[in-house]
């Protein structure tokens, strides 16, 4: 029977578990009884997260009451009784109520758990079970405790996860990691080998079994480390007599058969060397850990079958003994089926065996049952250096359902160091060691790298004539020429050809990957790990643009036309993403552009532009460098040229403000400023929260708009010593230095800190203190150690200002609602995250946070185009309907003409009563238009199209399921849109244009201000006056412009008496003018320019001025704000 034909199901596994439980006389520990079915596991998981884990019992009241009413299938009577008692006393005595649950869950734990004080089970296999190792301090403690275990001969084998004996290190430092592991583990292994040799001399009759050390790995990078570590250790004569075990990760669904075959080849070499060096066959241990809980029995069984077929071949099995560790005793049916299917015993070497490892505390009847089936059974114990029962229960739960994976900072999947979402192409990284060596070669080139320098020199602007020549070339490239056929203005006419060219671009980027990584690291000081992530995001951006462009022909009701040239002012935060993401968007929409980079990333941009020019049409992509210091002269000449259709700017809001001062009516699309924040609640997994905070705050030295610069601790978390100690240890353990050093986590700043980062690194505000003070590391002024600033008060500089550097502000709040309000007080809104197991807190966060990108139990340090690349609010964006990676991103680089089968002035062919199914507000609008004699088939058909589009536009849907993420962090990415306020100004053109835009807003349910130059017909006016979502104003153009002038933001007094402005998102402006003739278009452009002048340079504004069309998506998008969330639904417990 093949694995795919085997009828194993979740139901059969459950039946097996129940029948097995009924035959046992000895009761199982309570915690094992609560994990027999999927429903029970889900309820216990919430019980753990929301009741057992929080430090403050008061946080558990609502959770106890709610969980008491949840359905369960097989929980024992003592647990049910405890839940009933806890629910009765939850509000009056929450501490007593929670203790009822903790005590009943602790029943029988002494049969499962070992402590340093207990008498060990003779020969039992032990593994330390504690908090994750996030820093050097914890790693040193773990090594010392391993030494204690090895010094006690009464205990049996010991498992050593490689991730727990060293602080996390980047993948590129694999040589250094191997050396450090050899230094740490060598003496421990020699100690055990000498003990085994001594014991063997005392037991010559083979009745004694040598103790083993299992080295546990969690992904293929650690396999590379393990492979070379073992080969180096095997050179030591002192290891003679050692029994070495290899504890392998469970397979998961992104592991291909090619990768499994590769693992087999590497194992064969390692096992032979182990036998030669130690005189003992190695022991391979496989864990049946978490896939049954995550994927179901059938999926888990199929994965294990593939693993055994490709890895556990006769060639391997004749060199090793095999142990299969059954983490959850209810999974033993898988073991039986696999043993029967593959006849594992027959494939072993003579005298070899398959051993089943069962947790201590499992009933003797189960052991006897397995032994009768043909299996050797061995017990294993979990050693806990804890006295807190809550921590023991949490650790045991994690071990039962998620295996032995630590929550370290270096988690990577089996796919190697380069990985990403499904939108990313598959790279041939079949050998991670080869990729690691390639990375080291890149690092070796950094000190002398001059990539891009000749191009920067050649394209530097020196005079105003140079600037005008650049703009002239860009305009000429857009115009058809009889000698040189340029693309047609119609975007769709050459779309398929351009999509194919973008495929070639992606292939070229892959061949030039090392050069892109080299120039990015050498110029900006990024670590190679950070550069690899950005390279992957650039690929994502190109793929997303391609995907959206291919959907353009399906857009009904509008025809896209290429716009005139675009000026791209790329920044220093994400130079690869910005250049490739913007240029391919412009290219796919039929346009051309000039790229002018930040002087600090000019070389990176030059290499990128060279790739683009060689692959796309060179005339459509030009390059112009403005030297530092020339921004106010030549930069002004370049940016204020009236021939630009759009100016795209990436950088802080202060730079966008300078651009608006230069030319208030500049057609500016600008982002990314941010003050990203994370909320840590009492129900958070502390280890995972700390790991995610450190990753979010200090990736790229905290310089990107995706970095987290603010953490708000809620409730009892404000006094959590464990959170503080973990955070300080993990942050302090980050290696600081230049990218040439592969061990570095945190690289240099792109330039010496200026205001306000200089304040953030050097000055403390009232009440503030350093948990960890930043320090300048050398004389360059660009290298700083990270800082943790605690005691930050509401309204202080550390709360409000965007630092963009390696400093994290820590604040406190009583409730989640208070924490959200603290975050919303900042003048920015891009991304925010929350660590909590409480679904109510997650719902409140989603409803109230002023940020379009949400993270739940996950790091927030990246904005992934096509998945999490959306438009910020408040000062985080200006002029954008959709940011890089949003659904509406490409629409901003085209002009649109209506393509409906009817015209706005067409007479209605059906009564309004035939419009059933439309939103009520839209029906009323159309009825009023009919009563006033201005109804139109064009408007009615567009309204029907809007109704069909609503579900797609506003509904929540899964964007992508990330491929290759660590198996115990199940990730869900969702996208949706919410209504946003819009001010509509009708100046010229048919009244039906106004009706069409208002109908789109009413369908969305957005709040609108409708401004008209003269009164509307009576029925329409009355309708808009009475609608609660609409503010109707009749005013001339000058009055309207005066109403747009920026008013001082209302201020709020903080607890210290300081007044801080309450900055809110400004309504978008939809300007409606006639576009029927060139003269009418010119007049409309003058009106748009006057509005931008009236608005001024102080505040960002998004003005939508284009022809009104019947296409639903185009007319509805100004009324919605796209949002997305990334949720880690299975949080690791430790």
- Residue pLDDT, tens place only, 825-853: 999 999 999 999 888 899 999 999 999 99
Instruction: Give start and end residues of each alpha helix (H) in 492-640.
Output: 495-511, 513-524, 528-550, 575-588, 602-615, 636-639
The answer on pLDDT for 402 being more than 60 is: no
On whether the CB atoms of residues 423 and 540 are closer than 8 A, the answer is yes
Lowest-confidence region among 245-259, 560-574, 694-708: 245-259
Picking from 109, 60, 115, 117, the residue whose alpha carbon sits closest to that of residue 89 is 60
| Virtual torsion, Cα 97, 100, 106, 108, nearest 10 deg | -170
pLDDT given for residue 425 in this prediction: 35
The answer on pLDDT for 1022 being more than 70 is: yes
Residue 708, strand partner residues: 676
pLDDT given for residue 151 in this prediction: 76
- Condensed to tens digits (0 to 9), the pLDDT of residues 712-735 reads 999 999 999 989 999 999 999 999
Instruction: Return all residues near 270 (Cβ < 8 A) that are at least 6 apart.
Output: 226, 227, 230, 231, 246, 282
Superfamily designation of domain 437-480+487-671: Aldehyde Dehydrogenase; Chain A, domain 1 (3.40.605.10)
pLDDT given for residue 482 in this prediction: 38
* Segment (H or E) for 32: helix 30-33
Confirm whether 120-281+294-384 and 437-480+487-671 share one CATH topology: no
Instruction: Return all residues near 132 (Cβ < 8 A) that are at least 6 apart.
Output: 138, 164, 406, 407, 408, 687, 688, 691, 1132, 1134
pLDDT given for residue 291 in this prediction: 40
pTM over 0.75: yes
pLDDT band at 654 (very low <50, low <70, confident <90, very high): confident
pLDDT band at 1123 (very low <50, low <70, confident <90, very high): confident
The answer on pLDDT for 546 being more than 50 is: yes
On whether the CB atoms of residues 953 and 919 are closer than 8 A, the answer is no
174 vs 516: which has the higher pLDDT: 516
Number of residues assigned to the chain: 1134
pLDDT band at 120 (very low <50, low <70, confident <90, very high): low
Q: What are the tokens at 1039?
A: 């009055």
pLDDT band at 117 (very low <50, low <70, confident <90, very high): low
Q: How far apart are CA 954 and CA 138, in angstroms?
A: 47
pLDDT band at 420 (very low <50, low <70, confident <90, very high): very low
Q: Measure Cα distances from 823 to 444, 765, 828, 949 in Å.
A: 42, 18, 9, 33
- Condensed to tens digits (0 to 9), the pLDDT of residues 778-819 reads 999 999 999 999 999 999 999 999 999 999 999 999 999 999
Burial status of residue 879 (CB atoms within 10 A of its CB: 0-12, 13-18, 19 or more): buried
Provide, rounded to the nearest whole percent, the portion of the chain with pLDDT above 90: 42
- Condensed to tens digits (0 to 9), the pLDDT of residues 252-285 reads 444 555 665 666 666 777 777 787 777 777 887 8
Place of tokens 């602080």: 167
pLDDT given for residue 774 in this prediction: 97
Q: How far apart are CA 707 and CA 831, in angstroms?
A: 9
pLDDT given for residue 923 in this prediction: 92
- Condensed to tens digits (0 to 9), the pLDDT of residues 22-79 reads 555 556 677 777 766 667 777 777 788 888 888 778 878 888 888 888 776 666 788 8
386 vs 213: which has the higher pLDDT: 213
Place of tokens 């007593």: 96
Q: What are the tokens at 1087?
A: 């009106």
pLDDT given for residue 169 in this prediction: 85
pLDDT given for residue 373 in this prediction: 63
On whether the CB atoms of residues 684 and 786 are closer than 8 A, the answer is no
CATH architecture of 120-281+294-384: Alpha-Beta Barrel (3.20)
Q: How far apart are CA 1012 and CA 1021, in angstroms?
A: 10
Lowest-confidence region among 169-173, 477-481, 587-591, 1103-1107: 477-481
Q: Measure Cα distances from 229 to 164, 273, 353, 434, 435 in Å.
A: 15, 12, 26, 17, 18
Picking from 79, 70, 72, the residue whose alpha carbon sits closest to that of residue 108 is 79
Fold of 677-861: Aldehyde Dehydrogenase; Chain A, domain 2 (3.40.309)
422 vs 385: which has the higher pLDDT: 385
On whether the CB atoms of residues 337 and 301 are closer than 8 A, the answer is yes
The answer on pLDDT for 9 being more than 60 is: no
The answer on pLDDT for 943 being more than 90 is: yes
Q: What are the tokens at 58?
A: 């008061």
- DSSP one-letter code for 544: H
Q: What are the tokens at 346?
A: 């027959």
The answer to whether domain 919-1047+1057-1129 has CATH 3.40.50 is yes
pLDDT given for residue 952 in this prediction: 80
3-state secondary structure of 101: helix
On whether the CB atoms of residues 161 and 411 are closer than 8 A, the answer is no
Residue 1121, strand partner residues: 978
Q: How far apart are CA 744 and CA 739, in angstroms?
A: 7
- Condensed to tens digits (0 to 9), the pLDDT of residues 428-455 reads 333 466 777 888 999 999 999 999 999 9
pLDDT given for residue 26 in this prediction: 58
pLDDT band at 702 (very low <50, low <70, confident <90, very high): very high
- Condensed to tens digits (0 to 9), the pLDDT of residues 473-494 reads 999 887 654 344 444 468 898 8
Q: Measure Cα distances from 656 to 208, 571, 659, 877, 1102 in Å.
A: 76, 11, 5, 9, 13
588 vs 258: which has the higher pLDDT: 588
Mean pLDDT over the full length of the chain: 82
- DSSP one-letter code for 1108: -
pLDDT given for residue 332 in this prediction: 62
Domain boundaries, the chain: 25-115+386-406, 120-281+294-384, 437-480+487-671, 677-861, 919-1047+1057-1129
Q: What are the tokens at 644?
A: 């630009």
pLDDT given for residue 344 in this prediction: 63
Instruction: Return all residues near 124 (Cβ < 8 A) that are at least 6 apart.
Output: 114, 155, 156, 360, 379, 380, 381
The answer on pLDDT for 1072 being more than 90 is: yes
Give the long-range contacts of residues 653-660, CB within 8 A, separation 24 or more.
Answer: 653/802, 653/827, 653/828, 653/875, 653/876, 653/878, 653/1100, 655/571, 656/878, 656/1100, 657/1097, 657/1098, 659/569, 660/878, 660/1096, 660/1097
Q: How far apart are CA 704 and CA 708, in angstroms?
A: 9
pLDDT given for residue 601 in this prediction: 97
pLDDT band at 376 (very low <50, low <70, confident <90, very high): confident
Q: How far apart are CA 583 and CA 579, in angstroms?
A: 6
pLDDT given for residue 530 in this prediction: 92
Q: What are the tokens at 350?
A: 């003579």
pLDDT given for residue 462 in this prediction: 94
């Amino acid at each position: 029977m093949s694995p795919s034909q085997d009828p194993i199901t979740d139901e059969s596994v459950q039946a097996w578990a129940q029948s097995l439980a009924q035959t046992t006389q000895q009761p199982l520990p309570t915690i094992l009884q609560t994990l027999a079915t999927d429903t029970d596991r889900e309820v216990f998981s919430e019980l753990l997260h929301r009741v057992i884990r929080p430090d403050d019992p008061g946080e558990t009241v609502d959770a106890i009451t709610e969980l008491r009413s949840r359905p369960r299938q097989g929980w024992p009577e003592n647990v049910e009784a405890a839940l009933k008692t806890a629910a009765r006393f939850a509000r009056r005595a929450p501490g007593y109520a929670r203790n009822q649950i903790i005590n009943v869950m602790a029943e029988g734990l002494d049969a499962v758990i070992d402590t340093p004080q207990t008498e060990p089970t003779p020969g039992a296999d032990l593994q330390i079970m504690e908090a994750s190792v996030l820093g050097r301090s914890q790693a040193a403690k773990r090594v010392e405790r391993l030494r204690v275990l090895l010094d006690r001969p009464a205990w049996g084998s010991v498992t050593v996860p490689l991730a727990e004996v060293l602080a996390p290190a980047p993948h590129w430092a694999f040589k250094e990691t191997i050396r450090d592991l050899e230094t740490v583990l060598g003496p421990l292994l020699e100690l055990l080998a000498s003990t085994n040799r001594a014991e063997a001399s005392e037991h010559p009759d083979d009745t004694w079994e040598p103790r083993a050390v299992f080295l546990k790995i969690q992904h293929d990078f650690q396999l590379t480390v393990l492979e070379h570590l073992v080969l180096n250790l095997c050179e030591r004569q002192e290891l003679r007599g050692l029994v070495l075990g290899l504890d392998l990760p469970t397979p998961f669904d992104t592991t291909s058969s090619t990768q499994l075959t590769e693992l087999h080849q590497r194992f064969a070499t390692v096992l032979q060397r182990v036998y030669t060096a130690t005189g003992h066959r190695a022991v391979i241990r496989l864990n049946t850990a978490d896939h049954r809980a995550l994927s179901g029995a059938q999926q888990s069984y199929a994965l294990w079958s593939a693993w055994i077929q490709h890895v556990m071949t006769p060639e391997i099995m004749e060199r090793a003994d095999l142990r299969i560790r059954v983490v959850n005793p209810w999974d033993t049916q898988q073991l039986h089926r696999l043993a029967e299917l593959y006849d594992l015993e027959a494939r072993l070497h003579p005298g070899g065996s398959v051993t089943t490892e069962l947790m201590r505390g499992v009933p003797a009847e189960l052991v006897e049952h397995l032994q009768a089936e043909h299996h050797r059974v061995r017990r294993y114990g979990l050693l806990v250096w804890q006295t807190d029962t809550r921590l023991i229960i949490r650790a045991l739960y994690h071990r039962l359902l998620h295996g032995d994976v630590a929550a370290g900072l270096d988690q990577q999947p089996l796919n190697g160091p380069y990985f990403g979402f499904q939108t990313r192409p598959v790279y041939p990284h079949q050998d991670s060691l080869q990729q690691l060596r390639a990375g080291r070669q890149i690092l070796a080139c950094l000190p002398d790298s001059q990539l891009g320098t000749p191009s920067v020199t050649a394209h530097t602007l020196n005079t105003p004539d140079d600037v005008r020549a650049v703009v002239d070339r860009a305009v000429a490239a857009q115009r058809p020429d009889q000698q040189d056929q340029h693309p047609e203005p119609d975007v769709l006419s050459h779309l398929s050809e351009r999509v194919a060219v973008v495929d070639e671009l992606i292939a070229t980027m892959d061949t030039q990957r090392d050069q892109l990584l080299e120039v990015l690291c050498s110029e900006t000081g990024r670590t190679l790990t950070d550069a690899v992530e950005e390279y992957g995001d650039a690929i994502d951006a190109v793929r997303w643009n391609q995907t959206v462009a291919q959907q353009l022909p399906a857009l009904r009701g509008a025809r896209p036309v290429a716009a005139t040239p675009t000026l791209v002012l790329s920044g220093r935060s994400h130079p690869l993403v910005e250049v490739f993401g913007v240029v391919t968007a412009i290219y796919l929409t039929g346009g051309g552009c000039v790229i002018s980079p930040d002087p600090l990333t000019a070389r990176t941009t030059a290499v990128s532009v060279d790739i683009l020019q060689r692959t796309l049409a060179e005339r459509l992509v030009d390059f112009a460098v403005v030297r530092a210091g020339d921004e106010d002269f030549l930069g002004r000449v370049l940016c204020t040229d009236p021939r630009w259709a759009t100016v795209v700017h990436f950088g802080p809001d202060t730079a966008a403000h300078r651009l608006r001062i230069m030319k208030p009516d500049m057609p500016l699309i600008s982002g990314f400023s941010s003050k990203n924040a994370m909320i840590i609640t009492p129900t958070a997994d502390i280890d995972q929260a700390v790991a995610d905070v450190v990753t979010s705050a200090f990736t790229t030295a905290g310089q990107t708009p995706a970095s987290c610069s603010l953490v708000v601790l809620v409730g009892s978390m404000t006094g959590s010593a464990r959170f503080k100690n973990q955070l300080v240890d993990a942050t302090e353990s980050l290696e600081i230095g230049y990218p040439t050093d592969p061990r570095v986590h945190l690289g240099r700043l792109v330039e010496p800190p200026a205001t306000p980062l200089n304040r953030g690194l050097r000055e403390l505000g009232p009440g503030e203190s350093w948990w960890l003070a930043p320090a300048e590391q050398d004389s360059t002024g660009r290298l700083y150690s990270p800082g943790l600033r605690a005691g930050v008060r509401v309204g202080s500089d550390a709360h409000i200002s965007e630092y963009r550097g390696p400093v994290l502000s820590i604040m406190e709040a009583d409730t989640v609602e208070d924490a959200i309000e603290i975050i919303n007080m900042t003048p920015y809104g891009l991304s925010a995250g929350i660590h909590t197991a409480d679904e109510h807190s997650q719902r409140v966060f989603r409803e109230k946070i002023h940020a379009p990108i949400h993270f739940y139990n996950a790091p927030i340090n990246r904005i992934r185009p096509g998945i999490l690349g959306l438009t910020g609010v408040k000062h985080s964006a200006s002029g954008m309907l959709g940011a890089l990676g949003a659904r509406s991103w490409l629409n901003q680089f085209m002009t649109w003409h209506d393509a409906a089968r009817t015209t706005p002035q067409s007479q209605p062919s059906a009564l309004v009563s035939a419009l059933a199914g439309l939103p009520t507000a839209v029906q009323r609008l159309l009825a009023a238009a009919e009563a006033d004699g201005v109804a139109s088939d064009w408007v009615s058909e567009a309204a029907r199209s809007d109704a069909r589009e609503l579900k797609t536009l506003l509904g929540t849907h899964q964007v992508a399921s990330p491929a290759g993420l660590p198996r115990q962090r199940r990730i869900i990415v969702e996208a949706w849109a919410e209504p946003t306020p819009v001010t509509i100004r009708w100046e010229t053109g048919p009244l039906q244009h106004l009706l069409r835009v208002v109908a789109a807003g009413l369908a969305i349910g957005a709040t609108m201000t409708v401004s008209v130059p003269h009164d509307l017909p009576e029925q329409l006016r009355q309708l808009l006056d009475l609608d609660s979502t609409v503010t109707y104003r009749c005013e001339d153009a000058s009055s309207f412009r005066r109403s747009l002038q920026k008013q001082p933001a209302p201020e709020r007094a903080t607890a210290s008496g300081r007044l801080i402005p309450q900055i809110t998102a400004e309504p978008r402006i939809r300007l409606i003018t006639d576009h029927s003739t060139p003269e009418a278009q010119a007049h409309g452009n003058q009106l748009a320019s006057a509005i931008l002048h009236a608005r001024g340079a102080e505040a960002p504004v998004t003005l939508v001025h284009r022809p009104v069309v019947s296409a639903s998506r185009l007319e509805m998008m100004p009324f919605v704000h796209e949002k997305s969330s990334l949720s880690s639904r299975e949080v690791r417990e430790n």
